[in-house]
Structure formats: C-alpha cells, structure tokens
Amino acid sequence: MAFLSNLFGNKENKSAENAARDAAKKQQELEAQRAAELAKQKQDEENNTTRDAAKDRQKKQAAGAIGGRDTILTGPLGDTSVAPTEKKSILGI
C-alpha cells in the first residue's frame, strides 16, 4: 500500500510542478504582452507629439504667408538706390 501512495503522491507532485511551471510561463507571457503594449503606447504618444509639432509649424507658416504678397520686398540691405541730394532751383532763373 505504501508503494501505491508513493506512486500517486509522485504523480500529484509532478502535476503540481507542471501547474506551477505553466503558471510561471503564463505570467511571463502576460508581462511580455504588457511591455509590448506600453512600448506601443509610448510610440503612439511620440508620434502624436511629432504630428502636433508639424501642425503647429504649418499654422505658423500659413499665418506668416498671409500678408507676404501685399508687402514690398527688398533685400537684406534695404533700399540701396541713390537719394537725390541736389539743391532745389527756381524754374526760369
């Protein structure tokens, strides 16, 4: 009888070990899945930040371009033409 109880006891121990091993494996899978979800969430947040920054740049460029066609454009040195510096004269004299 002792032999049978040892035989069945070993099966129960192996079954418990297998259950513990399966639980640990499942836990590792869940942790890996959660890590992947967090990485995807972080990437999405970075993409949203990049997209928002691009939208802001486009808005600023559009706002700056509104009056660009209505102004007189000169070079970085301004107006370089020669100004008249002669004295005025009275016509007919």
* Domain-located, residue 17: no
- 36 within domain boundaries: yes
Judge whether 19 lies within some domain: no
Is 20 a domain residue? no
In a domain, 18, yes or no: no
Give me the pLDDT at residue 2, please.
46
Residue % of the chain over a pLDDT of 70: 74
Specify the higher pLDDT residue, 23 or 64.
Answer: 23
pLDDT of residue 4: 46
Has residue 57 been placed in a domain? yes
Q: What is the pLDDT of residues 53-71, one digit of tens each?
A: 888 888 888 877 666 555 5
Q: Find the mean pLDDT for residues 31-39.
A: 95
CA-CA distance, 26 to 29, in Å (whole number)? 5
- The count of structural domains within the chain is 1
Structural domain including 50 reads 32-65
Q: Tell whether 55 is covered by a domain.
A: yes
Taking the C-alpha atoms of residue 27 and residue 34, their distance in angstroms, rounded to an integer, is 11
Q: Look at residue 13 and tell me if it is in a domain.
A: no
Q: Give the predicted TM-score (pTM) of the model.
A: 0.43
82 vs 27, higher pLDDT: 27
